[in-house]
Structure 1
């Protein structure tokens, strides 16, 4: 089981953002488990933390330590 990473993505503001971030993570980390809470702007995923952060950045968002 991979370690779970939780990040805060403050510039994620709507359902479309959630879908974009989820898609980016699923593409970068096949088989990852992604949990996103828009209300708290928390994104959790399993797998390679650096790859996940890069995927969120490449999707146009700013991941920060939660």
Structure 2
């Protein structure tokens, strides 16, 4: 079972943000399990932590360890 990484992304404020973050992670981590929760500002994913963190940053958001 792959390790799950969880970040808090406080600058994710709308459904468009959720879509943008999800798409960035799907492109960076094909086949990863991804959960993006706008209410809690939590993003979780399986796969390479650094790649996921970089994808969130490249999408314009600020991931912080949860």
Q: Find the counterpart in structure 1 of residue 38 from structure 2.
A: 38
Q: Cα RMSD between the aligned structures?
A: 0.5
Q: Deviations over 1:18-65 (max 9, x none)?
A: 000000000000001111111110000000000000000000000001
List runs of 5+ in structure 2 lacking aligned partners. Answer: none
- CA distance in 1 between partners of 2:7 and 2:20 (Å): 15
Give TM-score, length-normalised by structure 2.
0.97
**1:58 to 2:53 alignment:** no
- CA distance in 1 between partners of 2:21 and 2:37 (Å): 12
Q: 4+ residue stretches of structure 1 with deviation over 4 A? A: none
The Cα of 1:8 is off from its aligned counterpart by: 0.2
Local SS of the residue matching 2:8: strand
- CA distance in 1 between partners of 2:58 and 2:2 (Å): 22
Give TM-score, length-normalised by structure 1.
0.97
List runs of 5+ in structure 1 lacking aligned partners. Answer: none
